[in-house]
A = this chain, B = another copy of it.
Amino acid sequence: MEITIVTFDDFTDLDLFILWDLLNRVELPGWRVRFLGEAQSHTSSTGVEVKMHGPLEEANAADAVLFCSGRGSRLKMRDENFLGAFRLDESRQLIGAIDSGALLLGALGLLEGRRATTYPSADLKSLLEGMGAEVVWESFVREGNVATAAQCLAGQSLAGWVIETLAGAEYREKALRSVAPLDSLGVEL
């Protein structure tokens, strides 16, 4: 299984790393998680530089493609070179986004006539509505093979959906339990 996370400059750290860390907790042969971007590395809005594993075009053959979020998404939603790299196909791929990453799904025509969620701002709501989406304020919204999640920690739902669909519910449960604050679990040693 090839899982890809698409990012860009001026991304939000936690949006990227909650997806990355959870998806990497699946220990199965052939399960591979990759950062994809236009450049060899991209830098977050707090200045953290992260090396990419491959170009955007790798997303087109992946089993799952998740778009990161952050201030940079507003530039990328109008960037024809960026958008032109994608030939995504929801009939054979899981496609998702966190927070303002939904703008990129919208710009690729994937949210037309669909319910979607995003970081709660009037500006993002209006931009997504302009792309044909019906914006709802839920933490995770799935329409077929296209999903959106709202606010960084809802990345748990997005990563969990990918893990459950491609690996199974037990892997999802194991990954999410291993990061949950301890109180909520109980410990037996």
Q: Which residues of A contact B (CB under 8 A)?
A: 12-14, 16-18, 20-22, 24, 33, 46, 48-51, 117, 120-122, 125, 137-140, 149-154, 156-157, 178-187, 189
State whether B51 touches A49 (Cβ < 8 A). yes
Distance between Cα atoms of A140 and B183 in the complex (Å): 9
Shortest Cβ distance from residue A174 to the other chain B in the assembled complex, whole angstroms: 13
Given A21-B13, A189-B125, the answer on whether A154 and B182 have CB atoms closer than 8 Å is yes
Measured between beta carbons, the chain B residues less than 8 angstroms from A14 are: 17-18, 21-22, 179
State whether B150 touches A181 (Cβ < 8 A). yes
Shortest Cβ distance from residue A37 to the other chain B in the assembled complex, whole angstroms: 14
- Number of identical protomers: 2
State whether A157 touches B182 (Cβ < 8 A). no
Distance between Cα atoms of A187 and B119 in the complex (Å): 10
Closest residue of chain B to A186 (Cβ to Cβ) is B137
Distance between Cα atoms of A31 and B15 in the complex (Å): 22
State whether A139 touches B181 (Cβ < 8 A). yes
Question: Of B46, B51, B153, B184, which one neighbours A20 at CB under 8 angstroms?
Answer: B46
Some 9 contacts from A to B, beta carbons below 8 A apart, are A13-B24, A20-B48, A120-B187, A138-B182, A139-B181, A139-B182, A150-B181, A151-B182, A152-B178
Closest residue of chain B to A18 (Cβ to Cβ) is B14
Question: Of B24, B33, B156, B181, which one neighbours A156 at CB under 8 angstroms?
Answer: B181
Distance between Cα atoms of A142 and B173 in the complex (Å): 29
